[in-house]
């Protein structure tokens, strides 16, 4: 779904102030409350906005080590591997990929020694043939969506300006 300049401004405002109400958003954006509500409903129903939950930092929960594991799986075992890895709390993300591996998962651990425990648990499943792990040294560009939102809004209406109206980058989003 393509977004326009107002959609972009709504998303940026929500990212900057997730607890803002629809009435206050409409006041700041200079549009009717019903317009903001209709836009929010459409953005949600089309899957652009997937949730309003808190952004949680694994480091603050006591999991300062992040790693990526590339997994090779047995043919025909993809569904079983996905179901199994969904039960491992330290697996934050699982993506199926092309290339040398079949899946890529983002893992967290309490320490490097604890990472070994997590990896052992991940590869202990019969459908996983091999794993190659890389430890993250620094998260130089944390997961972010706002610059993409701003670009998408500009692509729809070139010359409309930055989606936030301020020209500054949106807030950093937790991984």
Q: What pTM did the predictor assign? A: 0.78
SS (H, E, C) the chain: CCCCHHHHHHHHHHHHCCCCCHHHHHHHHCCCHHHHHHHHHHHHHCCCCCCCCCCCCHHHHCCCEEEEEEEEECCCCHHHHHHHHCCCCCEEEEEECCCCCCEEEEEEECCHHHHHHHHHHHHCCCCEEEEEEEECCCCCCCCCCHHHHHHHHHHHCCCCCCCCCCCCCCCCCCC
Q: Which residue has the higher pLDDT, 52 or 32?
A: 32
Both tokens assigned to 73: 């799986």
pLDDT (mean) for 84-112: 96
Structure confidence at residue 157 as a pLDDT band (50, 70, 90):
low
**Domains, the chain, ranges and CATH?**
5-52 (1.10.10.10), 53-175 (3.30.70.920)
Average pLDDT value over all residues in the chain: 89
pLDDT given at position 54: 85
CA dihedral 10, 14, 17, 23 (to 10 degrees): 60
Contact 22, 32 (CB under 8 A): no
The answer on pLDDT for 171 being more than 60 is no
For residues 135-151, b (16+ Cβ closer than 10 Å) or e, as one string?
A: eeeeeeeeeeebeebbe
pLDDT given at position 52: 85
Structure confidence at residue 167 as a pLDDT band (50, 70, 90):
very low
Structure confidence at residue 163 as a pLDDT band (50, 70, 90):
very low
Q: Which residue has the higher pLDDT, 139 or 157?
A: 139
pLDDT given at position 12: 94
pLDDT (mean) for 84-95: 97
Contact 72, 129 (CB under 8 A): yes
pLDDT digits (tens, 9 = 90+) for 99-154: 889 999 999 999 999 999 999 999 999 999 999 999 999 999 988 999 999 999 98
């Amino acid at each position: 779904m393509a977004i326009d300049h107002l959609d972009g401004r709504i998303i940026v405002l929500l990212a900057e102030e997730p607890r803002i109400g629809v009435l206050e958003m409409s006041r700041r954006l200079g549009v009717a409350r019903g317009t903001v509500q209709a836009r929010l409903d459409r953005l949600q129903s089309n899957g652009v906005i997937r949730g309003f939950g808190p952004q949680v930092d694994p480091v603050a929960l006591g999991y300062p080590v992040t790693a990526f594991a590339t997994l090779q799986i047995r043919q025909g075992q993809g569904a079983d591997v996905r179901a199994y890895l969904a039960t491992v709390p330290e697996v934050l993300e699982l993506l199926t990929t092309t290339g040398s591996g079949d899946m890529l998962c983002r893992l967290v651990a309490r320490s490097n020694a604890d990472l070994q425990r997590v990896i052992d648990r991940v590869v202990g499943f019969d459908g996983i043939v091999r794993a190659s792990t890389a430890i993250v040294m620094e998260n130089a560009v944390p997961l972010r969506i706002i610059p993409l939102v701003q670009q998408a809004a500009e692509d729809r209406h070139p010359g409309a300006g930055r989606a936030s109206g301020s020209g500054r980058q949106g807030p950093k989003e937790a991984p």
